Amino acid sequence: MELELDGIVILVGAYGSGKTEVSVNLAVCMNERGTPVRLADLDLVNPYFRSRESREILKMLGIDVVLPPAKYMHADLPILTPEVSGMLRHPTGLTLLDVGGDDVGATVLAALADALQGKSARVLQVINPNRPYTDTVAGCLKIRQEIEAKAKMSITGIVGNANLMEETTVDVVMAGYEFCNQVADAGKIPLEFITAPSALLTQLPKNDIQCPILVLKRQMVPPWKRAEPFGQTV
């Protein structure tokens, strides 16, 4: 089951959900399949792990990365440039927005209401059930409500990103898949896809997974570690 996304896709999620990792890998995955990709980094919450940290790699791969002006690169301010508004008014291929965590970061979406008016957009909530506040179905639904209230937009789908960083196992991925299915059922929205580290892909019981799998090559790493190189996805 292949992952196919186009149009405007907005990724939101609680702090520590791995939303930015998903954004970067999703951009690369769709780019490798021939879909033109534009990625806007609107993460105003986490000053350490943002998609802009991978901007040079993404640009080398032909992915258009929209960032705040250089003087604001490390500022936690709602910088909504004309370029961001323009990419939403005239989307092509996959227009991907990496939006900050929780309801605080989602306030930036409310500022984009004019640019998004009349447009069809998917808003996907990234969930890592191994993090505080998203380790219960009720907790995930609560965060969804908070994000929707601030963003003035409805979340349309779930992305399962179950992981324990380097300690992620097949059991962790599968338990996360089952959990995110429960969240999706409770919220009456689809589970759009789950993620899995590239090293585990061949070990997963794919016949038991009824949604696409996004292969992750870890990019959001501390300075003393190297990001996994991108190449053709498995």
pLDDT per residue over 129-138, tens digit each? 999 999 999 9
Output the pLDDT for position 159.
98
pLDDT, tens digit, for every residue of 34-66? 999 999 888 655 544 455 567 778 888 889 888
Please tell me whether residue 108 adopts helix, strand or coil conformation: helix
Domain CATH for 102: 3.40.50.300
Quickly state the pLDDT bin for 109 (edges 50, 70, 90): confident
Output the pLDDT for position 53.
64
Residue 125 has pLDDT above 50, yes or no: yes
Output the pLDDT for position 222.
65
Q: How many domains does the chain have?
A: 1
Residue 226 in domain: no
Higher pLDDT, 178 or 84: 178
Residue 68 in domain: yes
Helix and strand numbers (H, E) in the chain are 7, 8
Residue 33 in domain: yes
Residue 224 in domain: no
Higher pLDDT, 109 or 159: 159
pLDDT, tens digit, for every residue of 194-204? 999 999 999 99
Instruction: Note down the domain range covering 159.
Output: 7-216
Output the pLDDT for position 226.
75
Residue 150 in domain: yes
Residue 98 in domain: yes
Close Cβ partners of 152 (under 8 Å, ≥ 6 residues apart): 109, 110, 113
Question: What is the distance, to the nearest Å, from the Cα of residue 27 to the centroid of all Cα atoms in its chain?
Answer: 9
Decide: 187 and 158 in contact? Cβ < 8 Å: yes
Residue 225 in domain: no
Output the pLDDT for position 201.
94
Q: What is the dihedral sign for C-alpha 217, 192, 211, 95?
A: negative
Residue 81 in domain: yes
Average pLDDT, the chain: 85
Decide: 177 and 184 in contact? Cβ < 8 Å: no
Q: What is the mean pLDDT of residues 179-206?
A: 97
How far is it, in rounded angstroms, from Cα 139 to Cα 136?
5
Higher pLDDT, 109 or 146: 146
